[in-house]
Structure 1
Amino acid sequence: PYLIKRIIYRNKEYIDDFYRDTWYIPPWYRVHRDIWVLTPVDLETYYKMIKIFSGYHSIRLWNLFPSIKIHLLLDYNLSPFTLVDINNLEMLEDPLSIYYEYPSIRRIYIQLLDWYGDVYYPFKYPPKSFKVKFYKGPENFIEYYNSLGELIESINNFRPHVIEAGYTEVFKYLSKSIDLRNYIKIDYSRSVLKPSEFPGFIELSRLSRVGLDEVSRYSIGKILTTIESIEALKLKYLIPDVRVDIENFKDVDRLTKIDRGGYVYTPSPGLYWNVAQCDFTSLYPSIIARYNIGNESVNYIGCKRYIIAPESGHRICLDRRSIVSRAMELLVNRRILLKDLSRDRGDPILDARQRALKWILVASFGYLGYRNARFGKIEAYEAVTSYARDILLKAINIAEARGFRVVHALVDSIFVTREDASLSDYLLLCKEISEKTGFRMEIDFHYKWLYIPVNRSLKYVGSINRYFGVSYDNRLKVKGIELIRKDAPDIVKDFQMEVIDKLADAKDYSEFKFLTGESIKILDKYKSLIRNFRVDPTKLIVTKSIRKIRYGGVISKVIKALGTSKVNLVRYIMSVYGPIPVERWSERNVYDPEYYIKLIYASLESLPYSLFYKTSDFIKIFR
């Protein structure tokens, strides 16, 4: 205290106010300590005082996260995108309200284009045209411009609040001709949200008190930690700069037993009829909220009331709500309500808001075990997975007891079938599982037929993350196959889509077998198109993301041909002489038909031909 007083006295011109207060200290937040609370005179002084105090090893600084702007909003009980009485600086609505009015925001989404699509390296390969989507309230429209001058003029005339793009280079390119400091910029390459889900940013901004320009750049983990920090500040819990707890020692046997992740059932490959995919709604966050899991509640030795997590044996204290469980309860309940409202009203804004919360909740469990998470703990992570495995096994046992066959089960969902089952039977099953486990389960998709391909590594079992199927009203659901992969060229996607469209009409096994035979004509058609050079080059583009520092083969050749540094993504067409970046492709180049024939052939593994044909049959077809 003497040292702090001396520093304060020496720098009193920088400090508006200081006083002593009592706060709880991590990691358990059961012990409170007296701390000094300082209020600098301005923002510049705030950072200057941090630098001064950081020079003393005997002094520890707390609550530097979240940012000073968020602390200021909390002090005045304000939040972005809430109605405010400007005269009194008072909010006229609760930032946690579900039923708020969506603000009227003018937005534009800009794309730099060439014949091959988006231009990712505009300084090296300037765009030929510009595509702009204008958003004004519920209305939107698209305009094309042939010059940068026309684009700038349209921006000045429309006067948007927000300028959006799919990647950073768009803003760098525009900044040479227009001052972008007056606009909020959203780069969707840094976000899990899509342009159609923009209202999700408003939702996250209100909950986290983070401005729109920052919340769009924040990682999901940082947004989650900010929401958790707000809960901690309400309880006068000191927020550390870094994680303060240490993982307990475990021998190999115990580590193998408890560090197992979610439950995964290895399916048998094949075709299944009348299958319901039943999903738990936000299972992992719901477990955290229900069982009070958090860094300060798991394995606290001074606990009076506790429960023991199944299998892992971790003791979870119930004496006091954990910070993480409080935040999860808020987010889970909010998402469920928004999801139900969006389903009932068909409102895209409500749907975008619940999807934004879904991403936060999806990340919450993994972030609990992240080594740098301020409110994380590996034992808490293990407790969640042990409960999740136990709950999914209970769901499987309930389904089997009711005469259903479990086709597949994955982390928080089960795929069940019964020959005579109707949609009502599946709904009743979900209701029973919800009641007996205490966690909400719903039908995510009712398949007329579901196909699970063979695992590429272990040929005698089914693929865990690759499957597709069609509903009774001919809606398609696809997971993991080339049709939805970003690195597959459109020629392969078009082929798979045409085959699946053909099979979608099948009403039973014999009809499915007949249509599979008929679809071989589609294979012949694509083989003919490719070999006769009748495929548009845009259908042949292969896209690869560059995530590793070292790379070789095709990728290194493409990067060298691009002639630019800091490459995050490459697109190429395979010519008869090797890969050529799309930026350097011209009409005189000729693509390699056998390369694309091989890609089509490889994609057959994901389709149901192996049910009725041998590999040797297709080798003959491709000759």
Structure 2
Amino acid sequence: MTKWILDAYIFGDRVYLDIYDDSTNSIEKQIVDLYFYGYIKTSNPEHLVDELRKADGVEDAWIESWLIPPFYDLIEPVVVFTTKSYQLLKYILWLAKLKNLRVVNTFPHPLIEALYRTGIQPLTPINHSIKGRIETSEWNPRSRDPELKYIVVEFSSGYYVVETPEETIGFWELGDLVEYIKSDKFHLGFTDPYIYMRLVEEDLGIKTSVYKWIYSGGFSPHEYFEWCRLAYTPLSLMNNTSIGKILSTIEALYARDRRMLIDKSRSRRESWRSISELLVYDRGGVVYQPKPGLYWSVCQADFKSLYPSIMVKYNVSGETVDKPGCRNTLILPWTPHRICLDSEGVVPGSIKRLIELKDLYDTLYRETMDELYKERKNAVKWILVASFGYLGYRNSFFGSVMAHEVVTSTSREVLKKARIAVEKKGYRIIHAIIDSLFIEGTKTLDECIYLKNTIEEATGFQVKIEAHYTWLYIPRSLNSDESTANKYYGLTSSGEPKIKGILAVRRDTPLIVRKAELEALSKLFEAQTPWELSIKLEEAHSIIDKYIELLRKREVEIRELVVSRNGRTREEYVKPPLYIFNSKPPYRLVYIDGRLVPLEKTLNRNYDVDKYIELLEKAKRELPTRRDLEDLFYAT
């Protein structure tokens, strides 16, 4: 029998825990005593401490020395107080603002800090519980998640797609989906806010038919659970959150431990620079414009968490870059910015453990092929992806434009070293995008591994073999003869297809276009040699033509023509499309007279055959052509 911390929330003035008992599949509520922390800056901290200590409900108050932003090189006194009353905490902080005192460390939510300081990690087993006190076991990343009954609801190709531990099923009618949800007792429901609102509009009882809804998107429960544990954020605070907010919470808790103040009124300003300087240093990562066409024997080598690894290796953080008065400075020849090594930066200190955790989950997945570890790895991966974006975000607590530029300029230098090392071995790089290299001429996987080791030795960063292709195709743009950097597909030497960026894998592609292109590609993936590919190419093009003919004859069901759009209401658009005004998200749209119209508004109007044929022609354009094969045979 194991009991789990399922959730924590504030009701009235008390903190409640939802405790899940996996032996009975039941959830019980328990009140727990937690200390909430408040932080105030004032010119007379001693007086404020005396006043707070006299206040009913304040447990204690004292003065601490905190490092202050933007560079955390100065120390100032901060009054800290604790209380078990959340309402009293809010009242004191409101009163402090009213008296023109500066309230600081307002992020993250006080409940998160209370859980963190008490050591109560959401979604972990309970070790001991007595009289309002809870102790949780130290979490082992190899452990299983609680076996809850959950439901995940997403929207794809016009269908509401439901995933439970037992099955995956699609619903066209919202009423049928509601009946399905109400027919069982689910502990947790995961969806996005637009779908949740449609469900509630259909049946208000849907709110209580699932014990707890989380509507920040249709991610898997294991991803949510991982974010809860890493950021000490209970499910009750997960609604409408973002990956960036989870990252910021992890960074803020790291800063709390080191008494580094979070003060939203202080930021790191970018110094004035000339246009020529911006052109040189503010260029982003490496993205090639590859020549479209077929390539044989290609190795795709990806740097492992390149941008986060750069931040950790070189101590890149907002407060460490161009820090005045630094005693130990790192100078990198490829950037004008200087990095301070006097102390570990908040960003590298926060994400170092995440990089190790991602690698662990990757290893566990490869060893066990258990989807649990794959989903946890994805959860950590998304935080690491956000760590770079937030580094240059103007509202980031621990980022700066200068730190962002250090990372991008370093990534360009790393890929340059990798390219030179590969070319010295006699191979050719046909494509590079951010942290991926596509190397032509690797006949075997062993050659690919050899180049991986070569790149690691030349750059000092870890590399993984993402794929070894028997053949790789880079399609032309839909509007020109140039390629698009993030579109490619091919057959790997293990016999598995790999597809990236084309219409068939886009979320808003109509079902008929997706079916046609995937069916055509399945023919191409039967080919192991250039000769076989030349034969399969004719079959692939004829498959697209077959679907075009079905459209001309109007033998396609309307559901297969739906264009799905998941989100955004009118207020979120600068210039909203017309369908926003007479429909609600998630949207089911059909092309009528060249424009998208809500399906429910089409009545008996005929769909735009020419528009759908145009989409199929675009899918056809993403297939290889005779010219590609002729170029290949000529090159060989």
TM superposition score category, shorter chain reference: 0.7 to 0.9
- Relative to 1, partners in 2 of residues 1:169 and 1:413: Cα closer, same or farther, differing over 3 Å? same
Work out the CA distance in 2 between the residues paired with 1:288 and 1:505.
43
Query: Structure 2: which amino acid aligns with 1:169?
Result: M
Structure 1 equivalent of residue 489 of structure 2 = 468
Paired residue for 2:434?
Answer: 411
8 A Cα contact 2:45 2:79, kept in partner? no
- How many angstroms does 1:46 deviate by? 0.7
Structure 2 counterpart of 1:621: none
Write the letter of the residue equivalent to 1:161: H
Tell me by how many angstroms 1:134 deviates.
Answer: 3.9
2: distance between equivalents of 1:518 and 1:100? 48
Name the residue aligned to 1:81: 123
CA–CA distance in structure 2, aligned partners of residues 581 and 542 of structure 1:
9
Q: What is the alpha-carbon distance in structure 1 between the residues aligned to residue 428 and residue 60 of structure 2?
A: 68
Q: Report deviation, 1:575.
A: 4.4
Partner residue of 1:94?
138
Aligned partners of 1:28, 1:160: CA distance in 2, in Å? Answer: 48
Contact in 2 for aligned 1:267/1:462 (Cα 8 Å):
yes
Equivalences, count: 580
Map 1:207-246 onto structure 2 (within 5 A). Answer: 207-215=230-238, 217-242=240-265, 244-246=267-269
Question: What is the CA-CA distance between 1:77 and the residue it aligns to?
Answer: 2.0
Of 513, 535, 540, the match for 2:556: 535
Find the counterpart in structure 1 of residue 87 from structure 2: 44
Task: Report the CA distance shift for 1:430/1:225 in structure 2 as closer, same or farther (over 3 A).
Answer: same
Partner Cα distance (1:448, 1:269) in 2: 17
| C-alpha distance in structure 1 between counterparts of 2:536 and 2:305, whole Å | 38
1:68 aligns with 2:68: no
Return the offset for 1:512.
1.9
Q: Does residue 596 of the first structure (1) align with residue 622 of the second (2)?
A: no
1:518 partnered with 2:544: no
1:18 equivalent in structure 2: 61
Query: Partner residue of 2:589?
Result: 572
Aligned pairs for 1:89-488 (under 5 A) are 89=133, 91-95=135-139, 97-109=140-152, 117-118=159-160, 133-135=163-165, 139-140=166-167, 155=182, 158-166=184-192, 167-173=195-201, 176-180=204-208, 183-187=211-215, 190-191=216-217, 194=219, 197-215=220-238, 217-242=240-265, 244-418=267-441, 421-456=443-478, 459=481, 461-488=482-509
- In the TM superposition, residue 41 of structure 1 has moved relative to its aligned partner by 5.2
CA contact (8 A) 1:309 1:386 kept: no
Q: Output the amino acid matched with 2:573.
A: I
> In structure 2, do the counterparts of structure 1 residues 405 and 546 end up closer, same or farther at CA, with 3 Å as the change threshold?
same
Residue 269 of structure 1 deviates from its aligned partner by 1.2
Matched residue type, 2:607 = Y
SS of match in other structure, 2:267: coil
Kept after mapping to 1: 8 A contact 2:186/2:209: no
Question: Percent same amino acid at aligned positions?
Answer: 30
- Deviation of 1:47 (Å): 0.7
Tell me, yes or no, if the aligned pair for 1:243 and 1:376 is still in contact at 8 Å.
no
Cα deviation 1:290-312 (Å, max 9, x = unaligned): 11111121111222222123422
Shift of 1:604: 2.6
Q: Secondary structure of the equivalent of 1:265?
A: coil
Structure 1: give runs of 5+ residues left out of the alignment. Answer: 119-130, 615-623
The Cα shift of 1:427 comes to 0.9
78-87 or 284-293: which moved more? 78-87
Which amino acid letter does the alignment assign opposite residue 97 of structure 2?
Answer: S
State the distance in 2 between where 1:145 and 1:583 align: 13
CA distance change for structure 1 residues 268 and 179 in 2, over 3 Å: closer, same or farther?
closer
Secondary structure at the counterpart of residue 56 of structure 2: helix
1:397–1:578 CA distance, 2 compared to 1 (3 A): closer
Q: Which residue of 1 aligns with 2:525?
A: 504
Q: Is the 8 A contact 2:199 2:206 kept in 1?
A: no
Shift of 1:353: 0.7
Quote the offset at 1:149 in angstroms.
10
Distance 1:519-1:174 versus aligned 2 partners, 3 A rule: closer
1:236-267: per-residue Cα shift (whole Å, max 9, x none)?
11122355221222121111111011011221
Q: Indicate if the aligned counterparts of 1:257 and 1:312 stay in contact, CA closer than 8 A.
A: no
Provide the rounded CA distance (Å) in 2 between the counterparts of 1:144 and 1:579: 22
Deviations 1:86-137 (A, max 9, x none): 1283534224x32334222221345799x9534xxxxxxxxxxxx86543xx
TM (norm. structure 2) is 0.84
C-alpha root-mean-square deviation of aligned residues, in Å? 3.0
Q: Distance in 1 between matches of 2:547 and 2:175?
A: 39
Task: Call closer, same or farther: CA 1:181–1:574 in 2, change over 3 Å.
Answer: closer
Contact 1:455 1:464 in 2 (8 A): no
Q: Structure 1: which amino acid aligns with 2:618?
A: A
Tell me which amino acid in the other structure corresponds to 1:29. Y
2-side partners of 1:204 and 1:240: how far apart?
24
CA contact (8 A) 1:265 1:408 kept: yes
Cα deviation digits, residues 191-249 of structure 1 (max 9, x gap): 3x63xx32121111111100023235321111001001111111111122355221222
Q: Which amino acid aligns with 1:583?
A: E
Change (3 A) 1:295 1:585: same
Contact 1:279–1:413 under 8 Å retained in 2: yes
Contact 1:277/1:446 (<8 A) preserved: yes
Q: Is the 8 A contact 1:82 1:91 kept in 2?
A: no
Match of 2:573 in 1: 549
Q: Closer, same or farther in 2 for the Cα pair 1:22/1:132, shift >3 Å?
A: same
- For residues 347 and 424 of structure 2, what CA distance do their matches in structure 1 show? 36
- Within 2, Cα distance between the matches of 1:578 and 1:253? 43
Letter of the 1:63 counterpart: N
> Separation in 1 of the partners of 2:590 and 2:172?
27
Distance 2:483 2:60 in 1: 66
5+ long unaligned stretches in structure 2: 1-42, 631-636
TM-score (norm 1): 0.85
Aligned-partner SS, 2:319: coil
Q: Partners of 1:151 and 1:265 in 2: how far apart?
A: 48
Counterparts of 1:495 and 1:529 in 2: how far apart (Å)?
A: 11
Q: Match of 1:125?
A: none
For the residue of structure 2 that corresponds to 1:218, the secondary structure is coil
Which whole-Å deviations, capped at 9, do the CAs of 1:555-578 have from their partners, x for residues lacking one? 42x445xx34xx445332234697
The amino acid of 1:99's aligned partner reads R
Give the whole-Å Cα distance in 1 for the aligned partners of 2:51 and 2:339.
Answer: 46
AA aligned opposite 1:452: I
